[in-house]
Amino acid sequence: MMTLEKRKRVYTFSIIILLFALTAILSVRLYLHITEPEAQLFPDRFIANEERPMLIKCGLGTRNYFYLLNIYTGALYLDKSCNNSTDIIQADGYKRMYLHMLISRISAKKLAKFIESAIVLSTHKMDDATLADNILALESYLPSLLQNQDVLMFDYQPEVGTKVIVNNEVKGIIKGKTFNDALLEAWIGDSPISEHFRQQLLSEAP
């Protein structure tokens, strides 16, 4: 009969093996989400039209919650070739953050709150009142419930602001450049909400 101490060691070893296996499974699952079929949804570029110049994909990645829950796959598009994150954020050019929802469902309130938390945790210095107003506006532009396969885009247009686009329909505009700067700070700034996601979005940068 095994002693209590030996049973503890066996139990601990089993837990470690289980964690390694779970990590490997989740890593493969995350990879598959990006490569097949998700990558097919994100073109390398969007052709220019009357409202914007041609946009080139800078990078593609999946945002998840502690590697257990995939929230969305996102791609960053720019009107110029991908550069370092500081230059991207500071540039006053057309930018698009394209999000393809992977989570089964999420309320507008919860998603807006997630975005607000990401901005607060980043290094962007936006005053509380302006941030609160922008988040309320964002929540009002989103459908009450976003579901798997929905597409959400944040399009920054110089001298206009950030267009909130849901399933190819413009729902509203958050005026000015500050909000878009804050969004990008949260995703690709010096203190992003996820360093792994940041690296994926900047994968085409030199």
pTM greater than 0.85 (yes/no): no
Domain boundaries, the chain: 1-36, 43-201
Over residues 77-114, the pLDDT tens digits come to: 999 878 789 999 999 999 999 999 999 999 999 999 99
Q: Which residue has the tokens 């570029």?
A: 45
Share of the chain above pLDDT 70, in %: 77
Higher pLDDT, 67 or 27: 67
Render the burial of 70-98: b for 16+ CB within 10 Å, e for the rest.
bbbbbbbbbbbebbebeebbeeeebbbbb
Q: Tell me if the domain spanning 43-201 has CATH number 3.50.70.10.
A: yes
Q: Where are the alpha helices (DSSP H) in the chain?
A: 4-35, 85-90, 108-121, 128-141, 178-188, 195-201
pLDDT, averaged across the chain: 82
What's the pLDDT score for residue 28?
43
pLDDT-derived band at 154, boundaries 50, 70, 90: very high
Higher pLDDT, 36 or 51: 51
In this predicted structure, the answer to whether residue 13 has a pLDDT above a threshold of 60 is no
What's the pLDDT score for residue 159?
93
Residue 204 burial (C-beta neighbours within 10 Å; 0-12, 13-18, 19+): middle
